[in-house]
Amino acid sequence: MTAARLDTALTDADATFGFDPEAALVHLRACDPVLARLIDSVGPFRLELQRTSSVFAALAQAIVYQQLNGKAAATIFGRVCGLFRNTSAGLTPGQILRASDERLRSAGLSRSKMLSLQDLARKTKSGELPSLAEIRALDDETIIERLTTVRGVGRWTAEMLLIFRLGRPDVLPVDDFGVRKGFGLAFRKKEMPARKDVEKRAQRWRPYRSVATWYLWRALDPPPKTPAKDE
């Protein structure tokens, strides 16, 4: 199969979780009293899925955003898209492969990210990477295994796609700093918790570790400001 295949766009109507968030909260509250207190503190589950036109477009954006703050990454990604016509539905492999190295670098891409985008484009065009239609039928570990064959795409990047693009319910990005820091705060650890400690506790959260992950991230949010009282 080649890039002539069509990806099925993840439209707003399709951007729904593959699970019932309310059922997830009931499970998490029942299985872990500490997590239940965090849920009560944070409030409703408000994770919003991000729309994408293709697996390629989602990963291309992820590659550009790596190790940059949001504003700088958005600027460079906008410049990359601006190199081509008709990118309103997302970048395509053909656009990247037809562009010269100099043109891609002119958008502000590092050489490493340029090479990653080119590798992503080649592997998408050759059919090595699944389309959105195909990826929905794959289990999480298979998706991670397939996506991490691309230069510059590690497990964390694949896990973010699973959570934020596909709405998978049971993903635990245990190497994410925010997850472990949030775990330490929620469970009152004096030191940064070890990977194995988070994994062990998270066994009770299955099959809704993605929801627990979102709450661990929220544990790092600053508390809301209390309005000043009128004098």
Contacts of 70 (CB under 8 A, 6+ apart): none
Contacts of 95 (CB under 8 A, 6+ apart): 83, 84, 87
Look at the block and give the residue holding tokens 């389309």: 131
Catalytic positions are 176
How many residues in the chain?
Answer: 231
Q: Which of 85, 89, 76 is nearest to 117 (CA)?
A: 76
The CA-atom distances, in angstroms, between 84 and each of 40, 58, 77 are 47, 17, 12
Q: Which long-range contacts (CB under 8 A, 24 or more apart) does 22-26 make?
A: 24/169, 24/208, 24/211, 25/211
State the DSSP code for 99: S
